[in-house]
Each structure stands twice: as structure tokens, then as C-alpha cells.
Chain A
Amino acid sequence: MIRVIDLSKSFGALRAVNHLSFEAMPNCITSIIGPNGAGKSTAFNLIAGTLRPDSGRVELEGHDVTGEPAYRLAKLGVARSFQITNLFFGLSVLENVRFACQSLESRNRFLTRLDRLSAPVRRATEILEEFGLDESADQLVGNLSHGDQRRVEIAICMALTPRVLMLDEPTQGMSPAETAEIDTLIKSLAGRVTVLLIEHDIDLVMNISDHVIVMHQGRKLFEGPPNEVRASPAVREAYLGAEHAAA
């Protein structure tokens, strides 16, 4: 579905992503894990058009999309969320989701009056129900709890009816109960969409991932099914090493 080939990106002397290659299979959950600063978010930035890679390629269903701007990738069906909540905080929950749905409308409707543009509102309402956000539809996103804001992040991605859903630590800052809910939610989405999931914590991704990629210092350290990840001595080394360094 989405393939990354030999992708590299440096910030000055720092090689944030170093010859990274992997493939995310259709309608599966592929997780990228790794310690702090491993280059996970940078890899997302390269795939979703936030940053241009120094070298390497990104392919979407066999088409080269390397260096395409974010708005075009979104049109092509790549939706991403952000590690740090990145929403329209001054607009209502409904308007956030409606606005995302509106981007599916044909371009020649862009001067249609909003009250005549009902399809995005209908779809947004459905999505809010699915995500359990319908109660807070009229609230400003800025006034929501952190957990609900993280839900809106996923909701506006799904509003784009994407082919690839890229989630950057969707459960970041959530309680264990909320995290479990989000994991169930993500699992339920996987049948419809290819999921690329960044997680910081190995344990969280184990039961929902089909495929796991471990990154460390910009490189891919390990790749395989979840049950093999923890058995890998290299992975244990990286995680323990990072924790030693942090301590």
C-alpha cells in the first residue's frame, strides 16, 4: 500500500532518518516503535509531505509520491495526525470534522453557501457519533479534555476517507483506560484503512499490530510480527540503552 525505500533525512549533522525502508500492507496495522528521538515522527513528516527527504522514495500504491506537498497527499488518501494535538482549537468539534469532510466536495462547489452544502455536515455528524463525540459537537475544540481532543485528531483524519491513516502517538498523554479505548477504536478502523501507527511504548502496540518496525537512531533496527519483537536482543539493547542514557 505504502512503501518507503531507502529514505534519509538529516538536520545538520544529525541523521534523523537513516536509510529507512519498509512497507505497510493494505488494511493492516503497521506500527513504528522506538525510543525518544529515534526518528519516528521525522519518518512521518517525510511520508506525509511535511518535510522533503534528502534521498530515498515514498510510493503510494506503486506511484512515486516523494516530495509531494501535504495537501496533495491528503487528496491522494494519506491522512495524518500529530503527536502534539494540532486542531482548529477556536472552531467547534463539528466544524473541525465538517471542514475535513468538505475537502471531499468537488472544487466547483467552493462558492456554494454553507447552509446549502449539507453532505459534509451529514457525514461529520455520523463520524462524531462513531467516535462518541456527538455530545460535544458544538463545543470549541479548545475547551475539550485532552482525551477528547485526541479523538478529534483521529476523527478528522477518518473524515477524509483515507486509504492510509497515519497516527503519531494517538494515545499520548492518555490514561490507561482511555488508551485501551483508543486501541480498540484503531483496531476497528483497520478493516477499512491501512494504518501506520507510531507508538513510544512497546507493550501498547503488541496486541493491535500486524507488523512492527523498530527504529533506533534513525535506522530500522528490527522488523517483524509483534511476538518476535521482544525476543530480539537488538531491540532490548536499544530500549534498555536509551533508558540508561535517560537515567
Chain B
Amino acid sequence: MLQAQQQAQTTDIESRPAGTVAGRLLRAVRSGGSNSTLLRQIALVSLLLAAIFPLFGGSFFTRLAIEALLFGCIALSVDILLGYAGLLSLGQAAYFGLAAYVAALMYLHVTQSFWLVLLTASASVGVFSFLLGAVAIRAKGVYFALITFGVAEILSKITHNTRAIGGSDGLIGIPVPSIRLLPGLEIEFANNYVFYYLVLGTVCLLYLGTRRILNTAFGSVLRAIRDNSDRVPYLGYNPFWYKLLAYVMAAQIAAFGGLIYPLLRGFVAPHLFGFEVSTKAVVMSLVGGVGTLIGPLMGSVIITFLESVVGSYTERHLILLGIIFIVFVMFLPDGLCGLAQRTFGAGRKVKP
């Protein structure tokens, strides 16, 4: 009786991912949760280290740290989807790239007002992510990953082939504006330290905001979706809207990184949309710990610095990325935060 039923129900009740990479990652995140005291402590220590970093870092590494924080936004956005809604996006760079291009084009041709650029980039990403999300979320399992991957690649190819927006060379010579925070208070991006603390502050706010939003009834629906999406409708929730909201929110966070990127490097290029950036963000989340929010930001710092160091010796830093990915999936699927939780969490339990 059971066997016949099992066979009958697997067609409409999607079986949980078991042997897949996504399945491994998902199982790893179940124990944690962005709210544990230990994760808060890790976040606080990271912030302190980040705050004093420019005192030792010098201008090259300070700028590299800015880049790490910007790519960290994509990693954070991957984590919202994978760690909370159980959706593996292989195309989060699309929103980074989209925001970067919108910002670059606006600065070059339309306006020097940071706020206007912010609004335009955010609105474009909002509309695009809503539409793509509405399609991609209906696709089950691996097809979500494939659609997000495919669309990001298409965007990359389109920019690559469109002369009007720089083609394969991208756009260069983007002017660096100043931001008017308040009337009479202008902030210059040209100063590395001002730039760094501005980005660090904003990323902190994004992290705290995300943590707050996920620690709500909304967040608990996402966790239930991650655990068993098919059961959720029978409890009166329509998973579609929750996933879509998470998707749009994640896209906005990736977009923030893209919005600032042209101001850091002075150029944008088609590779910003590309598979390499998207997968790097997944590896960053994995290294830090999926489902922890702070882990992916740490992961981004680690990977970005590692790449910069290794990149000065060899062109083949992608191999390194691949090796890191395999090692973490196999031996440390809950990432460095997971390791910390097991080490210190277990240590604490021994004491009465």
C-alpha cells in the first residue's frame, strides 16, 4: 500500500533535494538561524575589525575592502534566497550588473545626482526582478537556478554586443560625484577613507535591515518554505508571494553593490553580469555559512582578498575558487560560521 502511494504522491509532492549540492547546503543551514547570540557576536567582531582596518590597510587594500563589501552585497542576496527561501540563484550578478550599468549611463549622460541615480537603478532592478522572479519562481527545483543563470548570461551578451553602451569594452571614464547627504553636507567619494566608511555603514544597515525583516512572521514563512515548500499552501500561505518578495528584496541588495561599483572602479563591463560573479557570490555565502547573513559578508572579504593575492601570481584564480567550493561542500557545508557554532556552541554545552 505504501509503495503505491509513494509513487503516486511524488508526482505532485516534490521530493526534497537529497544528494544535490543545494540539498547539502540546505541541510546545513537548518540548525543555525541568523539570530543566535553567537552570530551576533561574530557580526560585532567583524564590524570592529572592519572599522579599524583602514588604519593598517593602506589605500590599495582599503579600496579592495570596498570592493569586497560591494560583492558582499551579492553574497548577502544569495544568502537571503538560498538560506531562507531555499532558492539557489545562479544569476544574482544580473542585478549587480544592471544597477552598475544604469548608474554608469546616468552619470555619463543624465545627471550627477547620486540620489536620482539611486532611485533609477533601484526602480529598474525592482521592475526587472519582479518580472523575472514571477516567472522563475514558478519553475521548480533546478529550473529556478537555470532560468536565473540564463537570464544573467543573456544580459551579459546583450551588453557585450551593444555598441551604444560600450560593447565588450564596457563604459569607462565614469565621473565620480559627491553625495549631498543634507543641504550643506557634501561627501566626496574621492577620499578612500570617507568612501570606505560610507560603504561599510550602508552595508551594516543592509545587514541589520535584512536580519530584522527575516526575523518576522514573513521570515518564518520563508524558513518553512525552505524546509518544505509543498506543505506551506495547506497552512494558508501562498508561497509564491513570499518567494517573490524575498527575490525582489534580494535583488535590491545586490543592486546596491552594483550602484556603487562604478564609483569605485570608474568603469563597468559586461563581465559584471556574468556567471563568474554570480557563482563567486554563491561560493562566498558557502564559505561564510549559508543562512547566517553575516557569513556571506565575511566570505566575500576572504575570497576577494584571496583572489587579489593569488591573482598577482597567476591568472588561474578560478581554479582556486573551484577548489574552495568543492572543499567546503564536502567538508564544511555549513561554512565558517557553522564551524564556529559547532566549536563554541558545543564547548558551552559541556559546562553545566
Question: Which applies to chain A's interface (DSSP): helix, strand, loop or mixed?
Answer: loop
Residue B219 CB within 8 A of the other chain: yes
A contact residues around B27 at 8 Å (CB): 90
Tell whether, in the assembled complex, residue B224 and residue A99 are in contact, meaning their CB atoms are under 8 Å apart: yes
Residue B230 CB within 8 A of the other chain: yes
> A207 CB to closest chain B CB, in angstroms?
22
B contact residues around A129 at 8 Å (CB): none
Residue B215 CB within 8 A of the other chain: yes
Candidates A91, A103, A140; contact of B236 at CB < 8 Å: A103
Candidates B1, B213, B234; contact of A111 at CB < 8 Å: B213
Query: Which of B8-16, B53-61, B115-123 touches A?
Result: B8-16
Tell whether, in the assembled complex, residue B215 and residue A114 are in contact, meaning their CB atoms are under 8 Å apart: yes
Q: A45-B12, A50-B12, A112-B216 are in contact. Are A89 and B228 (CB under 8 A)?
A: yes
Give CA–CA (A88, B230) in the complex, Å: 10
B contact residues around A45 at 8 Å (CB): 12
A contact residues around B238 at 8 Å (CB): 69, 71-72
Residue A4 CB within 8 A of the other chain: no
A contact residues around B223 at 8 Å (CB): 91
Candidates A41, A111, A173; contact of B8 at CB < 8 Å: A41
Tell whether, in the assembled complex, residue B234 and residue A36 are in contact, meaning their CB atoms are under 8 Å apart: no
Tell whether, in the assembled complex, residue B217 and residue A109 are in contact, meaning their CB atoms are under 8 Å apart: yes
B contact residues around A50 at 8 Å (CB): 12
Q: A71-B236, A71-B238, A103-B237 are in contact. Are A84 and B228 (CB under 8 A)?
A: no
Residue A213 CB within 8 A of the other chain: no
Give CA–CA (A38, B230) in the complex, Å: 24
Candidates A49, A51, A117, A156; contact of B235 at CB < 8 Å: A156
Give CA–CA (A106, B171) in the complex, Å: 49
B contact residues around A98 at 8 Å (CB): 220
B contact residues around A90 at 8 Å (CB): 27, 30, 227
Query: Which of A23-31, A73-81, A185-193 touches B?
Result: A73-81
Candidates B216, B227, B231, B235; contact of A113 at CB < 8 Å: B216
Closest to A40 in B: B5
B contact residues around A111 at 8 Å (CB): 213, 216-218
Q: How many residues of B contact A (CB 8 A)?
A: 34
Residue A87 CB within 8 A of the other chain: yes
Give CA–CA (A77, B131) in the complex, Å: 32
Q: How many residues of A contact B (CB 8 A)?
A: 47
Closest to B11 in A: A11
Tell whether, in the assembled complex, residue A86 and residue B233 are in contact, meaning their CB atoms are under 8 Å apart: no
Q: A111-B217, A113-B212, A114-B217 are in contact. Are A69 and B233 (CB under 8 A)?
A: yes
Residue B4 CB within 8 A of the other chain: yes
Q: A71-B236, A71-B237, A75-B236 are in contact. Are A113 and B224 (CB under 8 A)?
A: no
Residue A8 CB within 8 A of the other chain: no
Give CA–CA (A110, B227) in the complex, Å: 19
Candidates B1, B217, B234; contact of A79 at CB < 8 Å: B234
Residue B6 CB within 8 A of the other chain: yes
Tell whether, in the assembled complex, residue B9 and residue A89 are in contact, meaning their CB atoms are under 8 Å apart: no
Give CA–CA (A42, B4) in the complex, Å: 13
Closest to B6 in A: A84
Closest to A16 in B: B8
Give CA–CA (A149, B318) in the complex, Å: 46
Closest to A78 in B: B234
| Per-position binary interface string of chain A over residues 105-146, scored 1 when its CB falls under 8 Å from any chain B CB and 0 otherwise | 100011111100100000000000000000000001000000
B contact residues around A113 at 8 Å (CB): 212, 215-216
4 closest A-B pairs (Cβ-Cβ)?
A90-B30, A103-B236, A74-B236, A70-B233
